[in-house]
Structure formats: C-alpha cells, structure tokens
Amino acid sequence: MRAFHEVRNYGSDFMVWNSNYTNISFLAHWHKEIELIYIRSGSARISINNHIFTAYEGDLVICDSGDIHYSDSYEMDNSLDFIIFDPGIISSLYKNTHFIHPLITNKQLKDYDLKEGLDKLIQTVGRELLAKEPYYQDIVKAAIREFWYLLKRKVPRNNSELQSQNRRNNMLYDLQQLLSYMDEHYSDNITLEFAANKMNFSESHFSKVFKKLTGINFVIYLNLIRVEQAANQLQNTSHKITDIALDCGFNNIRNFNRVFKEITGYTPTEFSSLPEPDSYNLTYYRRKSTEQQFVENDSITVIKNKVKEEDSIQRKI
C-alpha cells in the first residue's frame, strides 16, 4: 500500500528533500530515510512508534530510519518544515541513533544550544536545493552532518536500554513484514488471528499495538489496501465489478459496495463513471473530516487540512 511504505522520488541520485506545508496531516508510513519536522507555527499531533505527543511552535520532531509515524492533526492549524535525507549522508554504516524521545521542544533546543544550528540547517538546505549552484550537494551534506552530530552530542539517548531497544526494533521489523505481506496478498483471507500469529501476539494485544502504531485498526487498514487496489482496477480495466470485488479479497458484492463507499465516498458504479477519478479521497481520515484532500503532486501519505479556504493553499519552499 503506497500510504505505508513510502518511496520518495528525489528527481536525482542526491537523496535530500525539503518542503513546507500549511495545515496538514499524514497517514501512517515508514521509510529508510531520516525525517526532521520543524513546527514553524501552530501545533501537530504526531505518533512515532510507541510515542504519541503534540508538538508546538518551535519544536523539532525526529523520525529515525524505519520509524512508523503519522500525524492525526485534522482539526489543528500548523505550518511544518520537512527535511528528509538518506542516512548514508551521515554514515555509510548508519545505525539508528535511539534518542530518548523523538520530540525536542523549543525550550530544549535553546537549552542544548541547537536553535541557531537548526535555523541555519533549514535555511541552508532550502536555499541550496532550490538554487543548485556548484557544490550545493557538498554544502547540504555538510550542513546535515554538522547538525546531526550536534544532536548526538547534546540530546540524551537510550544506550543503556539496549535489550529493550532490540525488542522494540524486532517488533517494528515484524510489523513492517506483516504490512508488506498484506500489500502483496490482500486478496487472501487475512484474518485478525492470522495477523496476530505473524507477530506472535494475542489478538487483543496485536489489535492494541497495531492501532497505536498506525492510528488505524487492522480491519480498516486491510480494507484501505483492498479498496485502493479495487479503485485502480475500476480506473484501468474493463473487469466486472463482481470480479474486481472477489479479486481484491471481498467475499460478497454487498460488503464490497459498503466498504468502498465508506472509504472513497462513492459506490463502485459511481466511481467508475467519474470523469476525473483521480480526484477521489482514498483515506480513512476523510471520514473524520470532509475538509481534507491529498496534497497535490506529493506522496499519498500527505493530507491537506482545509480549515479555511484562504488558509488551505499549499506552500512549498
């Protein structure tokens, strides 16, 4: 499912990306890159692995490589700066840094004497990636490395809890493997019992862990995968709706019609007749707020929250 394992297109082999968004949330996803999120204004409710918190203006959020993260901030105003980069920029043998908490507050940034360095990093990366003047890649790499090693020098880490970290990392790896399996075998009869067994959890514990890490319960997540596949077939094939439903893991047409409409806002028949089917909102968050849409020309994980029409315009650096 594209909304979970994000593979970003950088446009070149230099894997550094940055942008600014106003009033967004993003679906649960993970990627091999490191992601820095700076709260320029407002607030954002964010979950990273087993940490759920609200970040406020001036705070920095760190998503390490492989971290499962999402933002459920559909009722909040915010302006967020993002810097995403390949861990190889820091070290060819990079291993997760294991900061005590992914949130570094504005006060902590000042106490650690990191505020000025963070401002410099954001300005340097944005300016150099935009202008692409000679040696811009080297300048960007140097800026990222300098700030990252200052983080490691000054921000506490969990080095004393190695055994606990290994258990957490193993759990996250198992969850990533399960989600990859669901992405490939969505047409199979994937039950809650089957998924829980894959992670060696009881069904009740698995349900709690899955919801906490993704923000979505297991059945909704599986239905999102199946509906996404069904929508693709409705757009690009002439297959009968009944055949599409069965091919995408739904055992009867009535259940398929109900789930498809809950997630997309259309029945399969209505959807197949849309003049511009790419305009639909394939997201669980749509049911929380009808004033949301995917951010144009970006990852399917990013959702724009339209609080006011004049405030909903996407801004990029």
Alpha-helical runs (H) found in the chain:
106-111, 115-131, 136-154, 162-184, 192-198, 203-214, 218-236, 241-247, 253-264, 268-272
For the 16-157 domain, the top CATH level (class) is mainly beta
CA 241 → CA 87, 141, 225, distances in Å?
44, 50, 17
Q: How far apart are CA 270 and CA 106, in angstroms?
A: 48
Mean pLDDT, consecutive 10-residue segments, the chain of 317 residues?
Answer: 54 87 82 94 91 95 90 86 94 86 96 97 96 96 97 85 65 83 91 93 92 85 89 89 95 93 87 66 40 43 45 29
Q: How far apart are CA 223 and CA 39, in angstroms?
A: 32
pLDDT reported for residue 1? 38
Residue 251's nearest CA partner among 188, 194, 185, 193 is 188
User: Which residue shows structure tokens 């300005």?
Assistant: 123
Which SS3 state, helix, strand or coil, does residue 43 take?
strand
Specify whether the CB–CB gap between 67 and 49 falls below 8 A. yes
Q: How far apart are CA 121 and CA 142, in angstroms?
A: 10
- Sequence-ordered list of residues with C-beta below 8 angstroms from that of 135, at least 6 positions apart, any chain: none
- Sequence-ordered list of residues with C-beta below 8 angstroms from that of 132, at least 6 positions apart, any chain: none
Fold of the CATH domain 162-282: Arc Repressor Mutant, subunit A (1.10.10)
Both tokens of residue 191?
């039950």
Domain ranges, ordered by start, for the chain: 16-157, 162-282
Q: Can you give the length of the chain in residues? A: 317
pLDDT reported for residue 273? 84
Residue 138, number of CB atoms within 10 A of its CB: 10
Q: How far apart are CA 58 and CA 41, in angstroms?
A: 7
Q: How far apart are CA 262 and CA 284, in angstroms?
A: 9
Q: How far apart are CA 152 and CA 144, in angstroms?
A: 12
Specify whether the CB–CB gap between 56 and 94 falls below 8 A. no
Residue 214, number of CB atoms within 10 A of its CB: 24
pLDDT reported for residue 167? 72
- Rounded to two decimals, the pTM is 0.68
Strands 69-71 and 292-294: unpaired
pLDDT reported for residue 72? 82
Residue 47's nearest CA partner among 23, 25, 78, 69 is 69
Specify whether the CB–CB gap between 171 and 111 falls below 8 A. no
DSSP H helix total and E strand total for the chain: 10, 10
